[in-house]
Amino acid sequence: MQVRKVVTGHDAKGRAVIARDEEIDGVFIPGLGELAFLWGADEPATYPNPGDNPAAPGPFPPVGGIRFVIATYSPEFDVVAPEPLPGMHVENGDEPGMHRTDSTDFGVVLSGNVVVELDDGVEVLLSPGDVVVQNGTRHRWRVVGGVPATVAAFIIGAHRR
């Protein structure tokens, strides 16, 4: 996958400029699919700034941090992310792919179909144009049909009590 990313920023006089216009290559992650990491910050932004992407290690942000990704999930896997990534919390006895994160995740299905399953067994089919807001809940994803599913997600780090 390749995604064009256009970023605005400010010049030395504080005027709006195109800071970058670039192609971002997706990164293949076994058992998950292909992810294009588009923006990440561990702290709120301050303006004016030159449009630089702050360093943001890890796929999930700390409290107040953000991540913006586009993911393409393959239909060849039974569930997405059967092995947890750093930042995914898994409980003993969880089914493969079931996890939670300390974040609010806003997802938009761009193509294909995915099912989100919650820990009570409820499943919801999401199709292109559908939006899901994950509020730190336990869930897992599954691609439905024989074609990959692409989802854009904006993730905000949150507190868990």
0.85 surpassed by pTM: yes
What is the pLDDT at residue 151?
97
CA–CA distance, 84 with 87 (Å, rounded to integer)? 8
Which residue, chain included where needed, has tokens 């932004």? 45
Beta strands in the chain (DSSP E): 2-10, 16-25, 27-29, 33-41, 66-73, 103-111, 113-118, 123-126, 131-135, 139-144, 149-157
- Ranges of residues in the chain with a pLDDT under 50 are none
Three-class HEC string of 95-122: CCCCEECCEEEEEEEEECEEEEEECCCC
**Distance from C-alpha of 149 to C-alpha of 141, rounded to nearest angstrom:** 11
Domain boundaries, the chain: 2-157
Task: Return the CATH class of domain 2-157.
Answer: mainly beta
At residue 45, the pLDDT reads: 86
User: What is the reported pLDDT for 132?
Assistant: 98
Residues 81 and 99: beta-carbon distance below 8 Å: yes
User: What's the pLDDT score for residue 7?
Assistant: 96
